[in-house]
Amino acid sequence: MSIAIFLKNNLKNIPPGLGSLINIFPYDYRPGIGKEYRTRKRDITQFENSPIKEMHHFIYQKMKAIVEFAYTNIEFYKIYYKDNNFHPDQLQSFEDINKIPLTSKSMLNDYEIDKRSYPKKGRYIVNTGGSSGTPFGFYIEPSSMGHEWAHMHSIWSKLGFKISDFKFGFGGRSNINDFVDYDVVRNTFALDLYADYKDVSAKLKKILKRYEVKYLHGYPSSIYDFAVFCREQDNELRDMLSKQLVGAFMGSEFPHPHYREVIENVFGIDTVSWYGHTERCVLAYEKNEKYVYEPFQTYGYAEEVNSDGKNELVATSYYNQASPLIRYNTNDEISETTSEGCILQSFKMKGGRSGEFVIDRDGKKINLTGLIFGRHHELFNEAKYIQVKQIEPGVIEIHYVANALSADKAATLFDSNNVNMDISFVQRDEPARTVAGKVGLLIK
């Protein structure tokens, strides 16, 4: 059993007062994760202060090790590499990494999970649909917890985070009791995103009177929803939060500028976002500039690869031997990249995350980030959410959440100039959410 599952099952009834004392104890020395956490924190610091030659050596050693392991122990890689005339012996230097054949979710899904995995002790299965909506299952090693926290804490420290700080969590859990649950492992009060915030508010005010909550953490769309509630329906809660909050950590979704601006303005805070996957191959964050993501090359090897005329992000998980993902094409298109010594230093997401587009009458893909946020829609003055549903090529519905706004009036507030599609408008009481509670631009 992994330490994460053990803690989840055995510490879930710890009260916040005791939890705050537990969370003073450094991660460096916590049972089951401390050694991994210390090692990764050291790697981050050393890598960032190393010359290019040493960075090359670090990446090469990690890539060589995982490739040799996969080739020796896993059926998929042995067959795939032989079919592509590749052998780990060809890896003699950093420059040889591009000889390793690329993989993809669709390619790996052609094999049963145990044909592309290794029976590591304590491994556990996870599943993701990702932005493409294609299911993909794989195993994770128990040691991943220390690895993840070391890098995430480095990101959050940009806003002054300490592990003893309380957070309000907006993560889409559906098993929350009485509107708010305290999670001692993450030192977070998790909110029920499916409940009416009018019901959640009273409990949050009690918490804020007793504990100092410094951060919001979760899906940008959900934090935005909460911020709008505070601004329009509960000024008391907004004022209490504004006095305590330091910042917001936004993950799992692209932080669209409209959502972000509202969050920062309502609470008077700064925000930081990061880019990552359930697959745990790549992690990048806004180190110096918003919407410019800088990857941790200590987390996994992140590359820019031209595929079918597009520059896409390819990544490798160094440490997951349970289900290795090597030169795995995320299919997320990136732009405005910078590199040093052939090492990817930064990138922007081209239109947010892949998968959120519609098709016009001519079969052209229209990116929804551009369609919704790249134009000046007066509809945003009236609607809290705008989402898009494709009915058929060239035909879409604009779903909006607003009070007393007819479809005819909504149409006049939406900039459809030069859009080669038939557009109709649908009013909703609530936005369409995924099972996890996310609010995407595209209703699938």
- Does the pLDDT at position 260 exceed 90? yes
In sequence order, the β-bridge partners of residue 312 are 305, 333
For residue 17, what pLDDT is reported?
Answer: 79
Q: Is the pLDDT of residue 380 over 50?
A: yes
pLDDT for res 193: 77
CA–CA separation, 210 and 166 (whole Å): 12
**Of 168, 106, 128, 104, nearest in space to 434 by CA:** 128
- The pLDDT tens digits for 317-343 are 999 999 999 999 998 889 999 999 999
- Whether 69 shows a pLDDT value over 90: the answer reads yes
73 by DSSP, 3-state: which? helix
For 395-442, the pLDDT digits (tens) are 999 999 988 899 999 999 998 887 889 999 999 998 888 776 778 788
Query: What is the distance between the alpha carbons of residues 438 and 219, in angstroms, rounded to a whole number?
Result: 7
Rounded CA gap, 365 and 403, in Å?
31
Q: Which residues contact 153 (CB under 8 A, 6 or more apart)?
A: 27, 161, 163
Predicted local distance difference test score (pLDDT) of residue 252: 82
Instruction: Share the mean pLDDT of the chain.
Output: 89
Pairing label, strands 188-191, 180-183: antiparallel
Q: How far apart are CA 195 and CA 214, in angstroms?
A: 23
Q: What is the pLDDT of residue 2?
A: 47
Whether 366 contacts 354, CB under 8 Å: no
pLDDT at 174: 57
- What is the rounded average pLDDT of the residues 251-257? 85
Rounded to 5, what percent of the chain is helix, strand, coil? 35, 25, 35
442 DSSP 8-state letter: B
- pLDDT score of 172: 61
pLDDT tens profile 72-118 = 999 999 999 999 999 999 999 999 999 999 999 989 989 999 999 99
Tell me what the mean pLDDT of segment 60-75 comes to. Answer: 98
Rounded distance, CA 22 to CA 16, Å? 9
The position carrying tokens 């996890």 is: 436
pLDDT of 129 higher than 70? no
Q: Which residues pair with 392 in a beta bridge?
A: 395
Contacts of 29 (CB under 8 A, 6+ apart): none
pTM of the model: 0.83
Q: For residues 119-153, b (16+ Cβ closer than 10 Å) or e, as one string?
A: ebeebeeeeebbbbeeebebbbbbbbbbbbbbbbb
